[in-house]
Amino acid sequence: WQAIGLTSLVASLIAMILCGWLARNWNDGRIQFRGPVIALGIWTCTLLIHHCGWRWIAMAWYGF
């Protein structure tokens, strides 16, 4: 369980860094507003997947 939690945390941090970079570099006027919004959406989805998905994977894997 500790390994699952650690993997989830690392993946969330990577997603956060990636989304921050995406929002910063995606600033050519047309997508100035959409960039951060999309990044926030991706980050939220990633967080939800890690929060719920790991539990389901662990349950399926260990057969709880």
The tokens describing 53, both together, are 């998905």
Contact 17, 1 (CB under 8 A): no
Residue type, 14: I
Q: How much is the pLDDT for 64?
A: 55
Count other Cβ atoms within 10 Å, centred on residue 5.
11
Domain boundaries, the chain: 2-62
Please tell me the pTM assigned to this model. Answer: 0.39
Per-residue pLDDT of the chain in tens (64 residues, 90 and over written 9): 566 667 777 777 777 777 677 666 665 545 555 667 777 777 777 777 777 776 777 777 777 5
